[in-house]
Amino acid sequence: MNDSNMQHPKVVVIGAGSLFFGRQSIWQMVHSPYLNRGTLALVDTDEERLSKMVRLAEMVAKENNVFLKVEGSTDRRQVLPGADFVVLSFAEQSVKYRGIDCQVSLKYGIRMCSGDTIGPGGIFRAMRELPVIMECVKDIEELCPDAWVINYINPSTVHGIALHRYAPKLKSFALCDSHHMPHKKADYAVRAGIIGDRSEFTEEIDRKFDFRVAGVNHFTWLLKAEFEGRNVMPVIAEAMRKAAGEENNGGDHGAKALHNDAITYELYDIFGYIPTCTAHTKEYVRYWQALGKTRDSIPPLSIWETEDRYQRHDEMWRQVDDFLTGNLPIADYMSTFGPDHATDIIENMVGNLGKRFFINTLNRGAVTNMSDDSFLELLCDVCMEGAKPVHVGEMPRGIRGMQELVLDTHELTAEAVVEQSYEKLKRAMLTDPLVNSISDADQIIKELLVLEREMIPDAWYED
């Protein structure tokens, strides 16, 4: 990227109508002085949704008197030339198909509260999304080969592995918003009693708080928590134990939100370390799969709720419509939303701000007893040259073994999808920690291939 581009960065968002990232990208592109003289190019295959997001971005930019250029297209090839960053954030009919994944798996005794990263749900989400990602890759390699490619689509590790392995010339990394910094660290400082609330988190506290998190995406663990040399891990765990009986999760009663503090404490009690993404991690282990007797305080996992998710998405689109029609003042947009993990990182890279962020990338020695090419979520120094993981230390035994199993599942899934190998698809399914029967794996694959045919490449159905 040359100096003129640094003044006018171009960020392309493929999947702007997914809402997961589109609305937040508008906020940051308008808010940041490093980005708001650049271009935000929005891509979506749904013309109506794309039109709404483009108009919304234009209105927000105008209201805030910034010179952000806004582009929109249903054809990504029209806007990719000149891109400095390409964010992959699409998920076509994800609610519908995650629901199918979860219900079919439930028939065979596999309970998934999210179903987008591990288990049959994670494997089949990659079956649907990764082929489209690899089509995008071909266009990026042709039209903007120097752009940074940021994957924001689950299963993030599978897709990140595929980008590194099958598009090695591209600069890429993968993200998940669950460890957005500095907010994640501030939350643990609150749990540790270091500060009263997140607003009290300062650079000085940041320096004094040695906080190390690592693991495969959605299966990450707090491996060290020391404040001024004092181990505060037990204090954090005790705060979660006390909170377990009071959980209301901000009124969220979805499957991902239930019993997380109680499960966090129980896993800490077993392994001596705190899982940092329990809403997903509880799905990676077999303890709440209803395979045996569980403690009364933590029932088997609830199943991901399709209809409620449709309602949430409808509410988000109603909010967009209200901004467009004036039912909500466009002047309130910037106070309604806030910074996003991906655009914070882009701002940091463009502005050379020297901040650290959690990124899914190659280990390269950060976790000393896992291989350098292990694809892990790690705190990194990030600049236009790339992401450099910060030293962590060893992954504890037991946890490390589970990490390796999950990584092998993800590696096999990436290979199966890109190579369109049924043999590797079955191998991935039977490596997965939630699958317990060869016969069940065969039936799950067979049923999901039938039910999801419109989303899966035709090659899987050829004799």
154 labelled ligand-binding:
yes
Distance CA 225, CA 242 (A): 19
HSE-CB at 185 with a 13 A cutoff on CA atoms is 24
Tally the residues of the chain: 463
Backbone angles phi, psi at 178, to 5 degrees: -70, -15
**Contact indicator for 147, 321 with CB cutoff of 8 Å:** no
Please indicate if the annotation marks 397 as binding a ligand. Answer: no
Is residue 88 within 8 A of residue 133, CB to CB? The reply is yes
Cα–Cα distances in angstroms (integers) from residue 156 to residues 288, 387, 408, in the given order: 23, 16, 14
Q: How many CB atoms lie within 10 A of CB 397?
A: 9
Half-sphere exposure of 5 (CA within 13 A, CB side): 14
Q: Residue 218 annotated as binding?
A: yes
Q: Map the chain to HEC letters.
A: CCHHHHHCCEEEEECHHHCCCHHHHHHHHHHCCCCCCCEEEEECCCHHHHHHHHHHHHHHHHHCCCCCEEEEECCHHHHCCCCCEEEECCCCCHHHHHHHHHHHHHHCCCCCCCCCCCHHHHHHHHHHHHHHHHHHHHHHHHHCCCCEEEECCCCHHHHHHHHHHHCCCCEEEECCHHHCCCHHHHHHHHHCCCCCCHHHCCHHHHHHEEEEEEEECCEEEEEEEEECCEECHHHHHHHHHHHHHHCCHHHCCCHHHCCHHHHHHHHHHHHCCEECCHHHHHHHCCCCCCCCCCCCCCCCCCCCCHHHHHHHHHHHHHHHHHHHHCCCCHHHHHHHCCCCHHHHHHHHHHHCCCCEEEEEEECCCCECCCCCCCEEEEEEEEECCEEEECCCECCCCCHHHHHHHHHHHHHHHHHHHHHCCHHHHHHHHHHCCCCCCHHHHHHHHHHHHHHCHHHCCHHHHCC
What is the distance between the alpha carbons of residues 141 and 160, in angstroms, rounded to a whole number?
A: 16
Q: Is 309 annotated as a binding residue?
A: no
Q: Which residues are annotated as a binding site?
A: 98, 154, 176, 218
Which residue numbers belong to the known binding site for substrate? 98, 154
Residues placed in the known binding site for Mn(2+): 176, 218
